[in-house]
Amino acid sequence: MFDININLILGQMVLGMVNGVFYAILSLGLAIIFGLLGVINFAHGVFFMLGAFAAYMLGETLGIGYWGALVLVPVMIGGLGLVVEVVLIRHLYKLDHLYGLLLTLGLALFAEGAIRIFFGPQGLPYSIPDNMRGAVNLGFMFLPYYRAWVVVFGIVLCFATWFVIEMTPLGAKLRAATDNPAMVQAFGINVPVMLTLTYAAGVALAGVGGVMAAPIMSVDPAMGTNIVIVVFAVVVIGGMGSILGSILTGLGLGLVEGFAKAVFPEASSTVIFAVMVVVLVLRPRGLFGKMA
């Protein structure tokens, strides 16, 4: 049952970083949206899935490849996010947070159903960009260039987001509005527009994640719902209070998952949930969470 092989463990942990990057990107968006809007965006996984499908469609219909998609898809998904916030989500701000969860759950079913109707339930292939083929020998494993790119780019993206929120005037306004929206509104900042843009930015981030995932996971309608539940556990483990905390928790859990895959493969799908239980017992507010 327990197969200890250092090369295998290291290899799986490096690959686990790939998943960790997706967890980090998604939990980051979830945390930003929840912080300002008070809505847990169940549809977050669906925007991730839509990002992958958008990349696929850009390739099929317009011949736009991976690099083009990486730039265009976040704009498209962000635009979709604008519409969703204006048409649906903003009507719920005065209600209990649970209604936001229910509404976005409905949105997730709706979008997943629509994609299944158009594309069928099976996964679609999306190939790795030509200039990313091949692998590098790390001594203990062959790491495909594309996966290395996903890890590096994902981490850069996360820290760029962190920088915007923590170090720029725009981020300062955002943090102020999270803390006290009425006061920020009184200073002449248009908070409703800010909410809309925040939602759009959060889901655009998920859309980029989807493009990055397209060549690795197969592009299929269920990919979003599957990952969003894991990301919920990640968010519970990390706590949504801290941006840096979300990033570190996401990456760390990717490593844990990779480790489990090497040592005890049967547990690899449940290990994150098990970590969640342990964290809840030992430190209920989450690793980086503030006390509510």
Partner 1 sequence: MKNGMPEPLGFTLPRAIFFAIFVIFVIVAPTFLYPIFLMKIYCFIIFALGYNLLLGYTGLMSFGHAAFFGMGGYLCGHAATDWGLPFELAVLTGTIFSTALGYLFAKIAIRRTGIYFAMITLALAQMVYFICLQAPFTGGEDGIQAVPRGSILGLIDLRNDTALYWTMAVIVLAMIMLVNRIVHSPFGQVLRAIRNNPVRAKSLGFDVDRFKVVSFALSAGVAGFAGALKTVIFGIATLTDVSTVTSTEVVLINLVGGIGTIFGPVVGSFVILSLEHFLAPYGPWVLFIQGIVFMVFVLVFRQGIVGGLQKVLRKQL
Task: Please report whether residue 37 would count as binding partner 1 according to CB under 8 A.
Answer: no
Among residues 88 and 248, whose Cβ is nearest to partner 1?
88
- The nearest distance, CB 148 to partner 1, in angstroms, is 29
> What's the closest the beta carbon of residue 258 comes to partner 1, in angstroms?
17
| Nearer to partner 1 among residue 150 and residue 203 (C-beta) | 203
CA distance 59 to 112: 21
Q: How far is the CB of 286 from partner 1 (least distance, A)?
A: 8
The answer to whether residue 107 forms part of the interface with partner 1 (CB under 8 A) is yes
How far apart are alpha carbons 232 and 273 in whole angstroms? 10
Q: Which is nearer to partner 1, 218 or 226 (CB)?
A: 226
Helix-helix angle 44-57:191-213, to 10 degrees: 60
E strand intervals along the chain: 135-137, 142-144
Pick from 204, 233, 247, 256: which binds partner 1 (CB under 8 A)? 233
Binding flag, residue 60, partner 1 (CB under 8 A): no
Candidates 232, 252, 262, 288: give the one binding partner 1 (CB under 8 A): 232
In single-letter form, the type of residue at position 241 comes to G
User: Taking CB under 8 A as the criterion, which residues in 5-34 touch partner 1?
Assistant: 34
Query: In the set 92, 201, 251, 253, which binds partner 1 (CB under 8 A)?
Result: 92
- Of residues 91, 142, 183, 187, which one binds partner 1 by CB under 8 A? 91
- Kindly give, in sequence order, each residue whose CB lies less than 8 Å from that of residue 2, ignoring residues fewer than 6 positions away: 263, 264
Rounded to an integer, what distance in angstroms lies between the CA atom of residue 52 and that of residue 210?
A: 4
Distance CA 60, CA 184 (A): 45
Interface with partner 1, residue 109, by CB under 8 A = yes
Which whole-number Å values give the CA distances from 111 to 119, 193, 274, in the listed order? 12, 25, 30
Distance from C-alpha of 126 to C-alpha of 128, rounded to nearest angstrom = 7
Q: 88 or 132: whose CB is closer to partner 1?
A: 88
Instruction: Count CB neighbours of 115 within 10 A.
Output: 20
* Rounded Cα–Cα distance for residues 271 and 266 (Å): 9
What are the phi and psi torsion angles at 43 (to 5°)?
-75, 0
Please report, in angstroms and rounded to a whole number, the separation of the first and last CA atoms in the chain: 41
Q: With binding defined as CB under 8 A, does residue 93 bind partner 1? A: no
From 53-61, 85-93, 153-161, 208-216, give the range in contact with partner 1 by CB under 8 A: 85-93
Q: How far is the CB of 281 from partner 1 (least distance, A)?
A: 7
Provide the binding-site residues for partner 1, judged by CB under 8 A. 34, 40, 88, 91-92, 95, 97-99, 101-103, 105-114, 116-117, 121, 225, 229-230, 232-233, 235-236, 266, 269-270, 273-274, 276-277, 280-281, 284-285, 292
